[in-house]
A = this chain, B = another copy of it.
């Protein structure tokens, strides 16, 4: 298993990836594969819960899907219906107790739930529930949803859910499993992706289409923002729990999170990234010898930039794919080792060249700075950095775990200051307008809060993101 703690370039974390399937032999095994395909959405814990219509079977663990689930484990996850989850979280809260799917018993029977997103009014909802005698076992906002459902007076589980979702504010893509059904729901703005697939006659709910591709399932359509989907052995039923409003897709799903081979919000990620790179070449051209991507994050934008500009694309920096999640540091005399162990510039390619270095984004800037240094050391003549999105300046309250604003390099520095900090001859970010124009969809369908500070869902900006661990008492 190639473990990657130093894997994602910018140390950004999203919660999480979802997969569920009903009525299909080998349900847990297909869920395992789906989670395998979604591993990039959460590498901290993973879980699968299955049912044979009567009993519930569950296994969760910390770490990668391939480590947690082995043949002997999968055999115990019986039944033809299953749901699964991969998850990230910050260190303090990374307990096995917080691994999902989350399973509870209440009057209607057993209920498993898996969640991708963030509830912004979680703190208030939880205090209300506790004052009425509810007991919480985790610090996950997901637990609030099932407590709301348990206290709803509505007769059916879908109605209990609709009743509860109306009380939530935030971004959420949800999958529920009972002994007899899979239920999916998406917040009214559709911030996080969630789609419906089909393998033979059996329905699947999952976060990205790459999970469907892996098991040769077909993509049907997205779960609509504001929609509840109920899948039983009678087929699929659709409900709306809220009127349609303007979509606010997370643009960062295209820029960074989703897999390039996925289609999300209806469009392909790889092609979108190339368009961002092409747009960069138009907005910020520069006279240079080679276009070099920061592997692997900058590859697609770099291809676009090269194609548009006609400047040759060179893999000038090699990524070591064997780097595991943890490695042992050398003596301090080896500078910037964490960068070096992962990426090695090829001096024979870089030496004496004017290099356009392309990356998808800059978060803290510290890693980029070290990488730039290794290029200078390899003999670059000039380095011009091009970033295929605008500067990130604001926190995300909808499920991406950016570092605190003080740590975001663009929060208090101009482009020139950042260029100086990174040690490059020039630096250009893609403009907000340029980014939105490069999209296949309409300009106004995206949440750009992390760039613009314009939050489509009202948030109390004083709140801590990980609010449930810090509830004042």
CA distance A303 to B346 in the complex (A): 15
A427 to chain B, nearest CB (A): 25
Is there an interface contact between B300 and A315, defined as CB atoms closer than 8 Å?
Answer: yes
- Which of B103, B135, B315, B321 makes the CB contact (< 8 A) with A270? B315
A263 (CB) vs chain B CBs: closest residue: B348
Contacts of A30 in B (CB 8 A): 330-331
Interface residues of A in 317-370 (CB under 8 A from B): 318, 320-328, 330-331, 334-335, 337, 340-341, 344-346, 348-349
In the assembled complex, A64 has its CB within 8 A of some CB on chain B: yes
Contacts of A214 in B (CB 8 A): 340-341, 344
CA distance A3 to B66 in the complex (A): 10
Interface residues of A in 99-123 (CB under 8 A from B): 103-107, 109
CA distance A259 to B25 in the complex (A): 43
A231 to chain B, nearest CB (A): 20
A119 to chain B, nearest CB (A): 16
In the assembled complex, A411 has its CB within 8 A of some CB on chain B: no
- Which of B33, B74, B137, B348 makes the CB contact (< 8 A) with A105? B137
Do A322 and B136 contact each other (CB < 8 Å), given the known contacts A214-B340, A330-B30? no
CA distance A130 to B105 in the complex (A): 8
| Size class of the A contact interface (CB-based, 8 Å) | 35 or more
Copies of this protein, total: 4
Do A106 and B136 contact each other (CB < 8 Å), given the known contacts A214-B341, A263-B348, A321-B4? yes
Contacts of A146 in B (CB 8 A): 135
Is there an interface contact between B137 and A104, defined as CB atoms closer than 8 Å?
Answer: yes
Contacts of A210 in B (CB 8 A): 318, 344
Binding site for B on A (CB under 8 A): 1-4, 7, 25-26, 29-30, 32-33, 36-37, 39-40, 43, 64-67, 69-71, 74, 103-107, 109, 127, 130-137, 139, 146-147, 150-151, 210, 213-216, 259-261, 263, 268, 270-271, 296, 299-300, 303, 307, 312-315, 318, 320-328, 330-331, 334-335, 337, 340-341, 344-346, 348-349, 473
